[in-house]
Each structure stands twice: as C-alpha cells, then as structure tokens.
Structure 1
Amino acid sequence: MVLEKLAVSQNRKDEAPNIELAELLVAQEDTEGIQELIEGLQMKKGIANDCIKVLYEIGERNPLLISDHVDVFLESLTSRNNRIVWGAMTALVTITEYKADKIYKQIDKVKYAYTNGSVITVDNSISVFAKLCKADRRYEKELFPFLMTHLGTCRSKEVPQHAERISICLNEENKTSFQRVLNERKPDLSSAQMKRVDKLMKDLAIL
C-alpha cells in the first residue's frame, strides 16, 4: 500500500519519505497509487497532511498525473485543516494551465481560500489567478484587475514576490497597469525590495 510509505506511517518527522514516494509514483506513472493518496485526504490528519504533500510534489514533476483530480483539490480549499488548504492550492498551481476551465468555474473557492487562508495559500493563489489570466482573455478580464488590487494593497514585503508571480500573464494590453501599480508601491518598499522590483521591471522591459 502506498500509504504505508508515507513519512507518518514510518514515524518519520522529515519529508524525505514523502518526496521519495512522489518520485517513485511519477517514475512508475502509478495512477492507482495516486488514487490511494486522494482517498487518504479523507483520513486522519497526519495521513491527510502527508498525502497532500506527496500529491503536490507529484504535480511539480508531472502535473498531468494529478490533473484529473482537480475537483478534489478545489473542494479541499474549504477544509478546516490549513495544511490541506495550502497544499491543495500548491497542487492547483501545477495543473492550472491544463484545467483552467474547471478551476475558473469554481473560482469562488479559490477566492475564498485567498481571503481566509495562510500566507502560503495566498502566495500560491496569486499564481493560480495569474495562470488563469494567461490561459484565457475572458478570465483575464475579471482576474487581472483583481490581481492589480491585490498588488496595490498587499504588504510591502509581498510586493516583489507577488509581482514576479503575476508577471507570467503580462501582455501588451495589461502591462501598463502593472507598471503603474508597481510605481505607486515603490515608496513603500525597502531598498532590497525596490532592487528586486526594478530588476523584474527591467527584465520585462517596462522600467
């Protein structure tokens, strides 16, 4: 059984067994094993936490192996277990480009997690929103202004990282708004944060 190979099942407190399991399942393209992990999300907390870890590690290596479970990850965004929520959002980041339509249809769940989730959940939600913008101009029409509002109001220390996450969906029509918001945030930034933002803008040729 796959669950026997989880860190918690081996009384391990490190993540090495979970990463090794993810690599094994990817190498074998073991869809049955992945289904066991999906079912494990409904088990006790320790098992569920390790299962979501293995699932998003699989997604980072071969997103198509977990993409058919998109509805499970979306549903997990409303879990009362914070580890499941941010793990599910991390998994969604890896599969958004393949399941953009399904994710957009349940965008309210992503927004709910963005509003109520941890810092890691919010970080990864920005990537989900940006990938949706990139996937379809219809989604961009709704979500890019949402991202600009976020970038204009988030904590200063988040501006560089979130700007980098958003930059994947820039195009000729929206990059002016992005540039304007970043310029407005510059007085709030430390010298290190400013340097990182300036580098991004230079790389994007919008400085």
Structure 2
Amino acid sequence: MIEKIAYNLGRNDEEPNVNLAIELCETKNLDGIKEIINGLKNGKEQLANDCIKVLYEIGERNPELIADYVLDFIQLLKSRNNRLVWGGMTAISRITFLKPKEIFENIDIIISAYENGSVITKDNSISVFAELAKADKHYEKIMFKKIIEHLKTCRPKEVGQHAERAFICINEENSKEFVDILLKRREYLSESQKKRVDKLIKKIENGKFNN
C-alpha cells in the first residue's frame, strides 16, 4: 500500500493520499495501515508527511482503524517537523473518544504541543481537551479548566470555532461558566462570530447538550 502514497508516485498533491485513505477504510486493510504507520515512523520526511495525511484521513472516516496507534501519534507531538505535530494532533483528535485513558496519561505532552504548536495544532487540541472532558468526570475537572482558560485568551476570531469544538463536553453543571466566558468575549467579536456564539448559548438555554 505504501507504493500508492503521493511521494512514491512522484506527486506533490494530496489526492493520492486521500484516495489511499478511502481505499484502506473501505477494505479495512489493517496490514496496509500498518505499512503506512511504518512509513510514518521510518520514512523520509516527505514520505512521513504523506503518511500522517493518510492516517488522519482514515481517522476522519473510521477512527477504530487507527486507534491502536495512539501512542505513535502522541510521539509525533515531540517532533521538530511541524507537519507531523499538527498531523499527529489531528489524528489524536479523531480517536480521543476511543482511547481517553491512554491520551490523558500523556496529557503533559498534549498540553506542551498545544502551548507551542501551530494554529492547526491548537484547533485540534481543543477537540482533544473536550473529548477528554466528556469521557470522564476526573478528566473534566482538569480539561474544562483548560478550555475556559483558552477561551479567555484566544484570538477573537477563534472564539466561535473553538467554542463549537468544546461544546461536546458542555453539560448542566459546567454550562454557566461556559456561557459566562462567551458573553465576556462577545463584544470583541465580528457579527459572524457573534452568530456562532449566540447559537451555542441558545442551545444551552434550551437544554440541548451534545452529551
């Protein structure tokens, strides 16, 4: 399967990688996925970049197929290659609901990548935090606080999107604090951002939680 990766085809676009992810999902080819993992860990940088693309595209479609490689994705967060860091966090965000224990055990690595990472890394970190908070009450105490800290300080243009990502962990007990911080940030938002935030607040007011 590794021969179908864009790098091995002499291609610079992502189409072969997406097509390969779709094929691996449709066939549930675990040996093929293992080949891609080996390419990720042992291949040249460009090959590894293509491999992580295939893997998180699989995670988007069928996260169970890549969940057992959670520790490999966590190790990517220590990479000097930014593409692998944000790709790794993207993959982790797809499987957090399946592997919350393993991910929370490595929360220091997750948080370090969040604090030092790119915009895409941060985006997907919020999804990881929210899935962890949803998964376990003990995790929620720590991760919800992290989410609130983030919403207090992130750029105004990120408030809406990140609040939407966090919404999966909002419940009757923590909703007031969530709404309070959104209302505090609201005056600094664009009209489109305000609409995104208002939609979430209305859901909470109507008791429509995602969990």
Give the TM-score category using the shorter length.
over 0.9
Q: How many residues align?
A: 206
Please give the residue correspondences for 1:1-207 in structure 2 after superposition, counting only pairs within 5 Å: 2-42=1-41, 43-205=43-205
Give the secondary structure class of the aligned counterpart of 2:11.
coil
Once residues 38 and 79 of structure 1 are traced to their aligned partners in structure 2, the CA distance between those partners, rounded to angstroms, is 15
**Aligned-partner residue type, residue 186 of structure 2:** K
The alpha-carbon deviation at position 206 of structure 1 amounts to 6.4
Q: Is residue 179–residue 206 contact of structure 1 (8 Å, CA) maintained in 2?
A: no
**Aligned-partner residue type, residue 70 of structure 1:** V
Once residues 159 and 153 of structure 1 are traced to their aligned partners in structure 2, the CA distance between those partners, rounded to angstroms, is 9
Once residues 173 and 75 of structure 2 are traced to their aligned partners in structure 1, the CA distance between those partners, rounded to angstroms, is 33
Work out the percentage of aligned pairs sharing the same amino acid.
Answer: 55
Q: Is residue 175–residue 204 contact of structure 2 (8 Å, CA) maintained in 1?
A: no
The alpha-carbon deviation at position 205 of structure 1 amounts to 2.4
The alpha-carbon deviation at position 204 of structure 1 amounts to 2.9
Deviations 1:71-105 (A, max 9, x none): 00011111111110111111111110110000000
- TM-score if structure 2 supplies the norm length? 0.95
Give the secondary structure class of the aligned counterpart of 1:41.
helix
Once residues 10 and 170 of structure 2 are traced to their aligned partners in structure 1, the CA distance between those partners, rounded to angstroms, is 45
Give the secondary structure class of the aligned counterpart of 2:187.
helix
Once residues 137 and 69 of structure 2 are traced to their aligned partners in structure 1, the CA distance between those partners, rounded to angstroms, is 25
Q: Which runs of 5+ in 1 are unaligned?
A: none
Q: Which runs of 5+ in 2 are unaligned?
A: none
Runs of 4+, deviation exceeding 4 Å: none
Once residues 186 and 19 of structure 2 are traced to their aligned partners in structure 1, the CA distance between those partners, rounded to angstroms, is 42
CA RMSD between the two structures:
1.2
**Aligned-partner residue type, residue 30 of structure 2:** T
Q: Is residue 129–residue 143 contact of structure 1 (8 Å, CA) maintained in 2?
A: yes
Once residues 166 and 187 of structure 2 are traced to their aligned partners in structure 1, the CA distance between those partners, rounded to angstroms, is 20
Q: Is residue 7–residue 15 contact of structure 1 (8 Å, CA) maintained in 2?
A: yes
Give the secondary structure class of the aligned counterpart of 1:204.
helix
Deviations 1:23-56 (A, max 9, x none): 1111111111111111111311110000000000
- TM-score if structure 1 supplies the norm length? 0.97
